[in-house]
Structure 1
Amino acid sequence: MSWRRPTYRTVDGERIDGAWCHVWRRSEWSEEYFVEDLVVFADGAVRCGERTDLAGLEKLLASGRISATRPDAPARPAEPPKSKWASRDSEPLTPDGFLLEVADLIEELSGRPTVVQRCHDAIQRYQQKPTEPHRLALRDAYLAVPPHLRIYVLGDMDRQDRPLRILTTAIGEAVDGDGPVVTPELRQEALDYFRRGDEGVRREEEQRAVRYADDPAGAGRPAVVSHQVIYPRGWPEEPDLFVLRNDYPVEIAFAGQTYASVLHGYWSLSAADATDSRRIREAPSGREAHDLGGRATRRADWTEVRLAVMAGLLRAKFTQHPELAEVLLSTGDARLSYTGYSESPYWRDVPDNRGRNWMGRLLELTRSELAWQVSWPTAE
């Protein structure tokens, strides 16, 4: 069973996060099953051909209308019975286990502790104070994990959940009924396993603190979106976020020429023919420069150099016009999302895997360079 995300629905303007997986649903008109999406949301809503909730899903599973496993799958060949302690297979996925998994997923989506988190918390409490009440609480926390997921609780595919099964078994009893008899020494070995794991985590956190020492301390400002806007009566006189756009008309000196906008410079420099380059440079507007440039034959190396050219044009634009630099610097450490429709997804932020947002990223780079110049005015 594999849950996929992200997905969500909107209720009264609020985003409700969800996740989904494939299940088998029985047709209302026959006994045949077909694959259906089961979607679970943070508020407890469940959708699988119909809207329901956790209690409704329990009834659907009990009646066989929905199955978490393929109902008509051929039976597996009979195998010799294995010792539960020695087996490396998880418990089979059952309707009850699947319902527990869905209930736990709702907890996760809503930001509450999951059964695995509660189990790890119980392990910590027992390590700190290995009393019988804490051991029994650990056993309850472990048994609350859906049976088919228990071997994954520790994230150790060599030992699986065996150290936990040792701790949750009373001294003098055999683990799983057919495993080793728990002794004080065996229990201490299990506790040592968790102690070594905690020490490894602490060492990794210390190393990460050193390696990631330059990470921002906080979450940073919300993203700033640069929208494509058309001003039929001309650009406003007071600079604002619109100055970040490539078609904003401002004279730029770059690579031995003067351009009327970033778009003029970018498309003029992309042209292989000198005549085309001049015509683009002299275009009445950035959009016309863009259209002319898109029709012209481009330099053979343009794909390799275009990022450097754009970075250079942006650097020239904002260093040569301090009033525009102030607008860019005012965005602080916010992520810059460059949207629109005129430029290719390579340059802008598109809500799918085509969008590269290179304009937003280069603007952030330029902003950092401007901030460095302000903070280190004597730096070369």
Structure 2
Amino acid sequence: MTWHGPTFRISDGEHIDGAWCLVRRRHDLLDEYVVEHLFVYADGLITCDGSGPADLAGLERLLATGKLALDPPHARERREEPPKRSKWETRYPEPRTDESFLAEVADEIRRLAGLPTAADRCRDAVLAYTEQPTQERRLLLRDAYLAVPAHLRVYLLGDMDRQDRPLRMLLTDLGEAVDGDGPVATEDMHHHALAYFTDLAEGIERVRRSRAVPYADDPPGVPVPPVAVDEAVYPRGWPTEPGLFTLRNDYDAPFTYAGREYPTVVHAYWALSAADPADHDRILAAATARRARELAGGTARRADWPGTRLAVMADLLRAKFDRHPRLAEVLLATGEAPIVHIGISEAPFWRDEGPRGGRNWAGRLLELVRSELCAAQSGQTPAARTAETALRAATRTGSQTGENGGA
């Protein structure tokens, strides 16, 4: 069964993670089976279009009564018998039954809830046996293996060639035929299986160490919740005490950029985007950031704007916070938290839209400038970075002078 996701539902204001797969539901009026979505959630709720909410016991009843089916009955009747092969030789998984499907659904619910699945527990039992290969741990491993839904056992080790055969060999008692019709289990066979799992454990450890390298500089501890920089309207003017609202681009914080004074980042961004120097000056003279954005909407953009706008916005933010140390303190006070820029005035390229998307570049660039301010406080800003910034500013000033008629 293929599970799809992520999905979720809201219950009493709480976000409940879920996943879904396809099943067949008997349509009473048409007297036939139609494909439906079966949703399962981390709290154990199960729903299927037209069948109402249920739990595992309810799902079992729906399968037993034929209201839900994994395959339409006529498809099972037409299915040809596979060629006769011994159970040991076959490379196909066990047939999926209602019982094994219910075990799979229970495992999916555990996974969504952040709990170990039967496959997780079996892999842990493999590692435990590898560390200390006693008869007691072998029996525990057998129980863990048999707890995995039968039709999924063949995929348990992720080995396309051997599949789960090393497990089946190891879990068969000495002198017994593996799977009832395979080779007789011997000491040598058990040793080979144990060597396989020893190599597997060492490989897992190598992968774990290699994966740890890219994350070696991640901050320790639990992730910091994001800081939301929301859009707000203040009819009586901006509050006197600086807060997160000062991080927004429409906040009145004049600064100098490329030799010109701009009242807000919004004024500067949209004025600099204009292809016509006259449009630049009209936008710059707008009474409010909102009016500047409205004026810019009807003007032509510079040809290079899509490729340069992120760099320009980053420099405008640097200029703003360099000019206003109190605002820089507000930005630094957000610590290591992700900054989520929320609103309706900017395009999704700049803002976060939650589950609907949004690229949140305004928030990302604020995090970049915050990191630079933090590095400057620590005396870790490279001299080369300062020189590069100065060179880029000088180049841009010359270009701006030519573009905007000496602006």
Q: Tell me the TM-score normalised to structure 2 length.
A: 0.89
Deviation of the 1:270 alpha carbon? 0.4
For 2:405, the equivalent position in structure 1 comes to none
Deviation of the 1:349 alpha carbon? 0.5
* Secondary structure of 2:376 counterpart: helix
For 1:262, the equivalent position in structure 2 comes to 265
Query: Structure 1: which 5+ residue stretches go unaligned?
Result: none
Does the Cα contact within 8 Å between 1:243 and 1:324 map onto a contact in 2?
Answer: yes
Matched, 1:145 2:122: no
* Secondary structure of 2:25 counterpart: strand
* Secondary structure of 2:303 counterpart: coil
For 1:19, the equivalent position in structure 2 comes to 19
2:186 to 183, 186, 192: 183
**How many residue pairs were aligned?**
380
Does the Cα contact within 8 Å between 1:69 and 1:93 map onto a contact in 2?
Answer: no
For 1:223, the equivalent position in structure 2 comes to 226
Cα separation, partners in 2 of 1:155 and 1:260, compared to 1, 3 Å: same
Per-residue displacement from partner, 1:258-277 (whole Å, max 9, x unpaired)? Answer: 11101101000100000001
Supply the AA of the counterpart residue of 1:364. E
Matched, 1:330 2:296: no
**Bigger shift: residues 267-276 or 370-379:** 370-379
* Secondary structure of 1:20 counterpart: strand
**Bigger shift: residues 62-71 or 331-340:** 62-71
Structure 1 segment 239-318 matched on structure 2, within 5 A: 239-318=242-321
Deviation of the 1:78 alpha carbon? 3.8
Matched, 1:46 2:46: yes
* Secondary structure of 1:73 counterpart: helix
Does the Cα contact within 8 Å between 1:346 and 1:354 map onto a contact in 2?
Answer: no
Cα separation, partners in 2 of 1:94 and 1:111, compared to 1, 3 Å: same
* Secondary structure of 1:366 counterpart: helix
CA distance in 2, matches of 1:121, 1:79: 34
Does the Cα contact within 8 Å between 1:220 and 1:333 map onto a contact in 2?
Answer: no
CA distance in 2, matches of 1:254, 1:241: 23
Matched, 1:121 2:124: yes
Does the Cα contact within 8 Å between 2:226 and 2:340 map onto a contact in 1?
Answer: yes
1:64 to 57, 63, 66: 66
For 1:236, the equivalent position in structure 2 comes to 239
**Bigger shift: residues 179-188 or 295-304:** 179-188
**Bigger shift: residues 81-90 or 363-372:** 81-90
For 2:138, the equivalent position in structure 1 comes to 135
Per-residue displacement from partner, 1:110-151 (whole Å, max 9, x unpaired)? Answer: 232210111112212222332223222211111111111111
Does the Cα contact within 8 Å between 2:70 and 2:98 map onto a contact in 1?
Answer: yes
CA distance in 1, matches of 2:24, 2:207: 42
CA distance in 1, matches of 2:365, 2:377: 18
Matched, 1:111 2:120: no
Deviation of the 1:182 alpha carbon? 1.3
Does the Cα contact within 8 Å between 2:375 and 2:381 map onto a contact in 1?
Answer: no
CA distance in 1, matches of 2:363, 2:375: 18
* Secondary structure of 1:24 counterpart: strand
Supply the AA of the counterpart residue of 1:27. H
Does the Cα contact within 8 Å between 1:38 and 1:47 map onto a contact in 2?
Answer: yes
CA distance in 2, matches of 1:129, 1:6: 38
Cα separation, partners in 2 of 1:338 and 1:84, compared to 1, 3 Å: same
CA distance in 1, matches of 2:81, 2:91: 17
Does the Cα contact within 8 Å between 2:88 and 2:182 map onto a contact in 1?
Answer: yes
Deviation of the 1:192 alpha carbon? 0.9
**Bigger shift: residues 170-179 or 59-68:** 170-179
Structure 1 segment 68-107 matched on structure 2, within 5 A: 68-73=70-75, 75-107=78-110
CA distance in 2, matches of 1:310, 1:284: 21
Does the Cα contact within 8 Å between 1:16 and 1:42 map onto a contact in 2?
Answer: yes
Does the Cα contact within 8 Å between 2:372 and 2:381 map onto a contact in 1?
Answer: no
Q: Tell me the TM-score normalised to structure 1 length.
A: 0.95
Cα separation, partners in 2 of 1:300 and 1:72, compared to 1, 3 Å: farther
CA distance in 2, matches of 1:236, 1:349: 24
Deviation of the 1:109 alpha carbon? 2.1
Does the Cα contact within 8 Å between 2:127 and 2:201 map onto a contact in 1?
Answer: no
**Bigger shift: residues 156-165 or 106-115:** 106-115
CA distance in 1, matches of 2:136, 2:213: 39
Matched, 1:195 2:179: no
* Secondary structure of 2:250 counterpart: coil
Per-residue displacement from partner, 1:15-71 (whole Å, max 9, x unpaired)? Answer: 332221121100122321112121112222211130111111101111111012344
Supply the AA of the counterpart residue of 1:136. L
2:57 to 48, 52, 55: 55
Does the Cα contact within 8 Å between 1:136 and 1:168 map onto a contact in 2?
Answer: yes
Query: Structure 2: which 5+ residue stretches go unaligned?
Result: 384-407
CA distance in 2, matches of 1:378, 1:36: 58
Supply the RMSD in Å over aligned alpha carbons: 1.7
**Bigger shift: residues 353-362 or 12-21:** 12-21
* Secondary structure of 1:293 counterpart: helix
Per-residue displacement from partner, 1:277-334 (whole Å, max 9, x unpaired)? Answer: 1000111111111111121000111101011011110111111111000011111111
CA distance in 2, matches of 1:291, 1:378: 38
Question: Quick check: which one's helix share is greater?
Answer: 2
* Secondary structure of 1:25 counterpart: strand
* Secondary structure of 2:354 counterpart: coil
* Secondary structure of 1:199 counterpart: helix
Does the Cα contact within 8 Å between 2:350 and 2:360 map onto a contact in 1?
Answer: yes
Cα separation, partners in 2 of 1:166 and 1:42, compared to 1, 3 Å: same
Supply the AA of the counterpart residue of 2:21. C
* Secondary structure of 1:176 counterpart: helix
